[in-house]
Amino acid sequence: VKENGRSSYQFYNTAMAKKTYERLALERDLRLALERKEFLLHYQPQIGLETGMVGGIEALLRWRHPERGLVSPEVFIPVAEESRLIVPIGEWVLYTACKQNKAWQDAGLPKVQVAVNLSIHQFQHAEIVDTIARILRETGLSPQYLELEITESIAMHDVEQVIRTLQALWDMGVNISIDDFGTGYSSLNYLKHFPIHRLKIDKSFLDDMVSNAKEREIVAAIIVMAHSLGLQVTAEGAESLEQVHILNGYRCDDVQGYIFSQPLPARAFAELLEKRKVY
Ligand code: C2E
Ligand code: CA
Ligand code: CA
Ligand code: CA
């Protein structure tokens, strides 16, 4: 028994060591990824249900690692956040998305908003408002064509500070949306106080919507509430036509999901934007 205990302890130690090593290796590579130009953005359309056209775009970060291939953001974003590398990486995302959107506009493609995910660490960074102002200036993109996606977790931080930052961004003319709405702990209270334009209903609500009447009622109620507060609503992660029909019945404004398109590389996305009408 004693021996057994020791070997499982050793196994545990080895597994831990391996995990720590993995984590460090990933962080080391992530540190080099910017200068090695290993990041790229994919773009996913948000379809306006009334028009059937691309009404917005979400920019999603991809990392092409020299040995690992395409690494999922679910894997590397947490490492980037813990190491605070998300601040310079996130700035690259903002710059690249704004620059790309401006280039599409200059090429005569329809003018739509590009949404960029903002990590809490970026949002709390003292210079975030100046950084965004500078990026808009440098790329020439008009602020109305940039949307920032933040999660409900910002509501758990210094509320006064959060409101000041959101207000400064709002005054600049940038749009703000609450991402993954309904998955956090503090869903409702901040809606009264935060200057925001849009809620994005999390995919988890859409998943059970077709088979579960309660889930449908929740989605319907979120949309009614958002509209009565003057907010737009995007539903995220729609994979079936049935979901789209239900959301349309609830007067949801926009839908983003594989049913219309997966996130695409810039070139493929431009073709979709050129056609504009998706269904
Ligand atoms: P998110 O912001 O909630 O982004 C939506 C995710 O859902 C994307 O995953 C998208 O590809 C996926 N998705 C969209 N429609 C469907 C669908 O119909 N079915 C399914 N199964 N999935 C769908 P992705 O690109 O892997 O990104 C994962 C997460 O990584 C994002 O979730 C976001 O939290 C984070 N992320 C991605 N890019 C950035 C970035 O530039 N900065 C930061 N801070 N986080 C990012
Ligand atoms: Ca998002
Ligand atoms: Ca989301
Ligand atoms: Ca998410």
- Distance from the alpha carbon of residue 74 to the mean position of ligand 4, in angstroms: 9
State whether the Cα torsion 182-57-88-35 is positive or negative: positive
Per-residue pLDDT at 139: 98
Report the predicted TM-score, pTM, of the whole model to 2 decimal places: 0.94
Pairing relation of β-strands 232-236 and 53-65? unpaired
Spatial contact of 136 and 146, defined as CB atoms under 8 Å apart: yes
- Using CA atoms, how far apart are residues 219 and 82, in angstroms rounded to an integer? 33
pLDDT band at 6 (very low <50, low <70, confident <90, very high): low
- Distance from the alpha carbon of residue 99 to the mean position of ligand 1, in angstroms: 20
User: pLDDT digit string (tens) for 236-253?
Assistant: 999 999 999 999 999 999
On average, the pLDDT of the chain sits at 92
180 lines ligand 1 (CB under 6 A): yes
Share of the chain above pLDDT 90, in %: 80
- Helix (H) or strand (E) holding 77, with range, is helix 73-82
61 lines ligand 1 (CB under 6 A): yes
Mean pLDDT of the 148-161 span: 87
- Report which ligand 1 atom has the smallest distance to the Cα of 259: 18
Question: What residue spans of 107-202 are helical by DSSP H?
Answer: 120-124, 128-139, 159-172
User: pLDDT digit string (tens) for 70-99?
Assistant: 999 999 999 999 999 999 999 999 999 999
Q: Is the ipTM of this complex over 0.95?
A: yes
- Distance from the alpha carbon of residue 61 to the mean position of ligand 1, in angstroms: 8
Please name the residue that has the structure tokens 């720590």. 20
What three-state secondary structure class fits 242? helix
Per-residue pLDDT at 1: 45
User: pLDDT digit string (tens) for 157-174?
Assistant: 888 899 999 999 999 999
Q: Where are the beta strands (DSSP E) in 152-271?
A: 175-181, 198-201, 232-236, 254-256, 264-265
Site to substitute for ligand 1 among 43, 57, 58, 60, most atoms within 8 A of C-beta:
60
pLDDT band at 7 (very low <50, low <70, confident <90, very high): low
